[in-house]
Structure formats: C-alpha cells, structure tokens
Chain A
C-alpha cells in the first residue's frame, strides 16, 4: 500500500527510542525525556500525548486487541481511523457518558450499588 505522508512527530513518538525511554521513565526516577521538566511547549505536550497513546496501543497490540495491527500503528491514517472506530464502536457507552452525564448503561452491564450483599463471600479456611 502506498503510504501517505507520516507526521514526523508521531513517527518519533511511536519509534523504539522514545517508547523504551517512556517505559523506563515511568518505572525509574531520574530519567527525563526533555531537557526541561516543566513549562512545556505546545509541541512537547503534543509529543507527550502521542507517546502515551502509542504506548497504550503497543500494550493493546500485545494483548491481541481486535482490529489492531502493527500496520495500523505504523500508519497515521490507519491509526486515526482505528482511534475513531475505538471511540464510536468499541467504547460507545463511555462516549455516551461523556456526552450525557445522566446516561444510564444498558441493563446487562448495570451494577447494583445499593445492595448490601457483599460480592465476595469470606469463609474460614
């Protein structure tokens, strides 16, 4: 497939160098991605957004999430489409909640929070 132009910022964010740096930075202290640790510029904030998003997508890929492939991650257009699909098809209830705070989930997934019966039964060994 003839790839359309890829945003270099996204390309950098999904690349191995920054993905492994991001993973290590969240596990270890003292590793930083930029020279500055505060007062980030717009492009730095955008980069952090994509870094986090691609990190999540790589984790989903390992988990074998539906419709997600390496090709999707590597292509801006396919990735944008996947994210739209995720928002519209995979998580429609979450989207409905954002749009309408009074939204009630369908009966299947409704949790009875008023019940006093514990969901786990404890017993002596």
Chain B
C-alpha cells in the first residue's frame, strides 16, 4: 500500500470518527432535552431553564394574547391572513397562495407515490435513483412552504404567534440564584426594555428551547 493511499484511509477514518462523535453529542443533547418537562441550558457561564407554564401562567398568556389580538386588529394598517392572500392575488404580478398550497399537497402525493415504489423496489441502482427523486421533491416542497410562510409573515396571525413566543419566554425563563430557580425577567416592562446583546441572544435561545417543549400547544 503506498503512502497516498494510507493517508487517504487515515483521513477517511478521522472523518468517520468525527462524525460518530458528533452523532454521540447530538444523542446526548437530545437525551437531556427529553429527561423531564423543563430544559436547562447554560449561557455565558450562567444557568437558565425554560419549563412548561403553570395553569395560572397559561391564563396570563391567554389574557395577554387577547389583549394583543385586539390591539393588532384595531390598527387598520394590519391585515389578516385572508386579507393578505387576497391582496397578493390582486397584485399586478399576482401571487397565488392557494395555488402554492395546492402544489405543496401535489408534491406530497408525488412523494408518497415514490415512497411506495421505493419500498417495493429491490434493485440497488433504481432504489438510489428513487431516493434522489424523493429528496429532490422534499426539498422543492420545503422551499415552497418557506416561501408561503415568508409571503405571509406580516399578517396579524404571524405577528400574534411571534408575540406569544416572546411573551412565553418572559413568563417561564428562569435563572439559578442561590440554588433556587427564579424568574429572570422580574416584570414585562423589564423584558420589553431589555436591549442588551446578552438578553437578545438569551431570548432567542430560550425561545428555541421553548418551541421544543411546547411545539403544538
């Protein structure tokens, strides 16, 4: 075996080991996320956690949501999703959201047809081709979904979802103080006034973990 081949093999092996270690880290991280119904994380040496809101906190969130919804709807410059879809359709160069949503559905049907073919196919080369086609269709579908979401990003519903996500962070973000978990933001005013880079990044991180905890709630 010549030196070049040996070096290539070593590189391959290193890449494989690195990938395996990365996978292991990923699994450990995932295991810590599912251990209980709160997620602890460290940010710049400080311990934080997000948890599921209590019944009382859920009431607080609902009340804030209703207040924000009324506020958004009272402002005539805001548009609902239905109104925005209609406006986009009437533009000089129309954007047809229902048609795009239909395309997402059609792509899903195509993916399912290919999935059935792949499961029944035994030939390695054909299987490889079908897998590539499925990946292509999934990518196309995801791109379309992101485009729809982007086009509708200024509607009232999206603004309300963004507000809720941030408000929940204010409600459930805690930090450790003398071995006790205490609220990080003492009041909503303090939360709204926070404009440091530290707080911005912390809120972003907390919102990410909170989305994992409360995905469909």
Contacts and interface: CB of A to CB of B under 8 A. Distances in A.
A84 B29 CA distance: 29
Contacts of A15: 27
B71 interface: no
A81 B27 contact: no
A43 B35 CA distance: 10
Chief secondary structure at chain B's binding surface: helix
A42 B217 contact: yes
Given A8-B30, A42-B217, A35 B115 contact: no
Contact of B27 (A8, A36, A72): A8
A44 B135 contact: no
Contacts of A89: 116, 119-120
Given A8-B26, A8-B29, A84-B115, A34 B34 contact: yes
Contacts of A40: 37
Contacts of A29: none
Given A42-B213, A42-B215, A42-B216, A4 B135 contact: yes
A35 B38 CA distance: 10
A81 B119 contact: yes
Interface in B93-139: 112, 114-116, 118-120, 127-128, 131, 134-135
B33 interface: yes
B214 interface: yes
B31 A12 contact: yes
A80 B33 CA distance: 24
Contacts of A72: 119
Interface in B24-54: 26-27, 29-31, 33-38, 52
24 contacts: A4-B135, A8-B23, A8-B29, A9-B34, A11-B26, A11-B30, A12-B30, A12-B34, A34-B34, A34-B37, A40-B37, A41-B212, A42-B213, A42-B217, A43-B34, A43-B215, A67-B120, A77-B131, A81-B115, A81-B118, A85-B116, A85-B119, A88-B112, A89-B116
A11 B134 contact: no
Interface residues of A, number: 29
- Pick the 9 closest A-B CB pairs, nearest first: A42-B215, A81-B115, A85-B119, A35-B36, A84-B115, A8-B30, A41-B37, A41-B213, A8-B26
A58 interface: no
Contacts of A77: 131, 134-135
A46 B217 CA distance: 13
Nearest to B38: A41
A44 B37 contact: yes
B140 to A, nearest CB: 15
B128 A36 contact: no
Given A41-B213, A44-B34, 14 more contacts: A8-B23, A11-B30, A12-B27, A12-B34, A40-B37, A42-B214, A43-B34, A44-B37, A67-B119, A72-B119, A81-B114, A81-B134, A84-B115, A89-B120
